[in-house]
Structure 1
Amino acid sequence: MAEDKLICFTEDEILKPREIIIELMEHMINRGLTDFSGGNMALRVGEKIYSTQTHSADKYRWKLRPDNILVTDIDKNLLEGRKETLSREADLHFGILRKFQDINCTIHGNTFYSPLLVSQGVKVWGATEVAQYYNIVEIPVVPEGIPPLSDEENNMIISMFEDLKKKGQALVVIMPYHGIIVGAKDHNEAFALFDAVESNSKFILYGELLKTSMLVNKIFEKMGNSLDKPGQVKTNTGNVGNIGEGSGSIFQLDSKNKILTSEDISDISQKVSSKTIKVGPDVAITDFALNKAEELGIKIIKE
């Protein structure tokens, strides 16, 4: 019996670049990783670069056909398609692929969570196990004021990618009020990284919202406990002893208190002469408390 012959395929023959891009960009919109106003992708296969064309989102609504995928060389010379249909971020994609020979796929999406966080001054770091798996430590952000889609922004992102590579971290940059851009060795890793970044940002946002919600609940609970019950007459009991105790020039907040409000600051200032209040590391301090302390010249320190 004759031995079976092994057939070896080249990478170019195995991959179907057009189908890969169509499938991944469909996943992008289905996962909420981009919207119907933008997003694009570039994939290097051999000496060719396959990329999405402009208006893939708003005109074609991500229902792409193989002839919607452009084919060029690394210098953006069109092999298939029309040059005017190159996406707005084409210069960025090609700049990254030209700079890093080991990066074969770049994906950009008009994401929601990551730009939202950084626009409000929240740092995006590797909070989830998946983010840590992909070596997401702290994602760099393009400074506000840099013109979007400009050579300055493109060069800055490429420089950020260089720094990330030196540190062995995931190649991802957040573009404020715009989206994110990722780069990876292949399309599978690029898409998984992109999804991990947005899931991580969602995790951070929900965590911040939960902490805020719990803080608000504690404030209202404390306010409710201080309200007079019907039929009762409020008396001044001097509850500083329940809040904490003074020791020299420092007032120590009782360890049972897990939140410091402006009402507490006022109460303490009326009962004792301390100008410094020491609280435990897990005590939540409201903005109103900080403002009241500043108004009264009181310093709040955490242990």
Structure 2
Amino acid sequence: MSSQDSPKGRRGGQFPLRLDQVSAPAARRLVDPDQVVPPGVVGRKAAPVGAAASSRLVTPPAHQPMLRPQRPVSEAARDQRLVHSPSGLGLDSAGVRRRMVERLQQGGVQDPRVLMAMDAVERHAFVDTALAGQAYEDTSLPIGLGQTISKPSSVARMIELLCQRPNAAAESPTPLGRVLEIGTGCGYQAAVLARLAKQVISIERLKPLHEKARHHLRALHAHNLRLVYGDGMLGHGPNAPYDCIIAAAGGQNLPQSWLDQLAPCGRLVAPIEDARGGGQSLLIVDRLVSGELVHSTQEAVHFVPLKSGVV
């Protein structure tokens, strides 16, 4: 064996070596035959205990693709969404709203358009964080300034009654037409109404609540919804008449302005104090084509008192 062929001769050769001077078999002989290398692992292998640490080259099989140092950002973002996507019983999941809708249906609400609208609007987004855990229970919740967000069953029931107004198109996706809402509150009912109406005008007399509702509803980008700061007992004459009027507060009598702003074939649904028992009940007022007003009384309800003026 010549000195050039011997290991000593190779160590004494000139440097640097060219890539074509290093053959694949020579690289593979640097790996201990008893060392197990997991498939796809390339690089440094930990030395056995007591052995001298050394760098060992491992050439991957020809069919094995080289590992990439990082993935495209788009793929990483996609995988992150899959890992952390909400599911189950979280307040932001569709399942918890669906169960609320199922309870509404069991309670008597049957109009599929109303049920779909209730299912689409996230009620927890309209209440304080401390009360979010109760958002999908059938209960009213405080929203500040002595006001409350109505129970889901009350919202669904009143809107369903509006959908049943005379001459309303039974299959129309916007059965409410043009709506006036008295008492915006936190904006939840306005959000549901906007999914069933051509236009919603919602008026609120308390400035902080008006601003809160504007904040809540901004993310919806509902182009058919307009919020007004003003005295709800006066209605809103500039956009009258209305196909539907709904009130979230009740008094001893209906303001005359509401009746004046109700269109022919229109319907008004509002709580009113029951003179017999001192509580409240739902009052329905229909304006016939002739202009005549017809009213009927429905079930007992409990809403905040109707007040005039702005604050």
TM-score when scaled to structure 2?
0.26
Question: Structure 1 or 2: larger helix share?
Answer: 1
Task: Compare CA radii of gyration and give the structure with the larger one.
Answer: 2
Q: Which has the higher contact order (CA 8 A, sep 6+)?
A: 1
TM-score when scaled to structure 1?
0.26
